[in-house]
Amino acid sequence: MKVAVVGATGLVGSKMLQVLAERNFPVTELIPVASEKSVGKEVVFKGKPYKVVNADTAISMKPNVAIFSAGGSTSLEWAPKFAAAGITVIDNSSAWRMDPSKKLVVPEVNAHALTPEDKIIANPNCSTIQMVLVLEPLHKQYGIQRVVVSTYQSVTGTGVKAVDQLMNERKGVDGPKAYAHQIDLNVIPQIDVFLDNGYTKEEMKMVKETVKIMGDESVKVTATTVRIPVMGGHSESVNIQFAKDFDLAEVRSILAAAPGVVVTDDPANAVYPMPKDAHDKDEVFVGRIRRDESQANTLNLWIVADNLRKGAATNAVQIAEYLNQKNWL
């Protein structure tokens, strides 16, 4: 199994390598791909060094699968070239997510939508992935009508430059800025650019991607996405209105049985999901499960996951695992 990782030297790309190794994906040859300025550098995978190559070279090496994490413009340019060479692409950027001809996949929710003909498969937005993992089993049982989500997102979602900005500000060091504002000791209610409707691109990703992944346009979503000065994971406060009433004990048992979900909910002992506890883990953690007393058939809960793992690298590798199990690679 030849595996190319496009964007191998970036924050998510290096996490991809870590997850591929940890999950023992059957890599016989790794092909790390990056921009021209990184060509010739080495990355280490399972203790062995591999030289970074450019995209053209990678295609000529005929990998079975290419996992992309190099930004939308790179994906738009190169994913079709890899696909044309018969290489299956799993793309972590936003480039193909809302393309009606491409599948948008969270394996626990909609892997069944995949076919051997899918050569470019989109990995959803990090904050969407962790939310739909919790929504899907509840939707099956109670029928979701509306979701109101507010996010508390880690600086790691922006990349290395944002992590550096936070740590520099914490030390009182002036340096390059990833954000228009200070992030340390602050909260920025803007992720990505603002659109004409007053929402940010990140907020509309959550709205549209949730509907596409769940395959149900009757599910209404509204989102406010916020950057906070933490590392380790994204948190979400989620308010869910159902078509019918629910039992809280049953909600907990449904979520406890859901693949990839861990219920962490013991408020009497101050037990609830936090980013520091989700860091470097693949599961999605849910807690603060309680009835919304202001409205019928409505639930409040709190969801936390490591955005670089389940929100990006792990989800992409899980897609590759599914395709491999089906002998489609």
Residue 178 burial (CB count, 10 A): 16
Give DSSP secondary structure letters for 19-56.
HHHHTT---SEEEEE--GGGTT-EEEETTEEEE-B-HH
Name the phi and psi angles at 238, rounded to 5. Answer: -125, 130
Buried b (16+ CB within 10 A) or exposed e, 134-146: bbbbbbeebebbe
User: Shortest CA distance to 260 belongs to which of 115, 90, 136?
Assistant: 136
Across 209-283, where does the E strand assignment appear? 220-224, 234-242, 261-263
Scored b (16 or more CB within 10 A) or e, 241-257 reads bbeeebeeeebbebbee
Using CA atoms of 159, 203, 187, 304 in order, give the dihedral in degrees to the nearest 10: -70
| CA–CA separation, 256 and 275 (whole Å) | 19
- Residues catalogued as catalytic: 126, 234
**E-assigned strands of the chain?**
2-6, 29-33, 42-45, 48-51, 65-68, 88-91, 103-104, 120-122, 144-152, 220-224, 234-242, 261-263, 284-291, 298-305
Strands 284-291 and 298-305 turn out to be antiparallel
